[in-house]
Amino acid sequence: MKLLSRSEEIILLTILKLGDEAYGVSIRQQIEQDTGSKWSFASIYSPLDKLTQKKFTSKEAGESTASRGGKRKFYYQVTHVGKEALREIRKATDQVWSDLPDTAL
């Protein structure tokens, strides 16, 4: 099983949700919108780097723009390996929750 932290799971799901518009700032904004919690840039970029190292995401540089002072955006995509990890974590989570008595919460 390819284990994911909760933040990695949220980031991967957000990248899938954003599609071709998944770059650092848009990922952070979408997560904050979806969770109602503030996420620092470090809480986004550190897991993104780890996800890329694990081959769960791929990263591609966009064109540099004047509005960004000549800097490029880096766009992320979830790889086949990343999608497999998401399926595995969902299956494990469903299994853990399935045996929980209704009165437990």
* pTM, to two decimals: 0.87
Residue 14 lies in a domain: yes
Residue 99 lies in a domain: no
Residue 101 lies in a domain: no
- Angstrom CA distances, 87 to 4, 27, 42, 63, stand at 11, 20, 26, 33
Q: For 70-102, how does the pLDDT look when each residue is reduced to its tens digit (9 = 90+)?
A: 678 899 999 999 999 999 999 999 998 898 888
Task: Write down the mean pLDDT value for the chain.
Answer: 91
Out of 32-36, 66-70, 72-76, the most confident range is 32-36
User: How many residues comprise the chain?
Assistant: 105
For 1, the 3-state DSSP assignment is coil
**CA-based max dimension of the chain:** 57
Residue 57 lies in a domain: yes
Enclosing domain of residue 31: 6-94
Residue 55 lies in a domain: yes
Which phi and psi angles does 44 have, rounded to 5°?
-100, -50
Percent of the chain having pLDDT more than 90? 72
Residue 104 lies in a domain: no
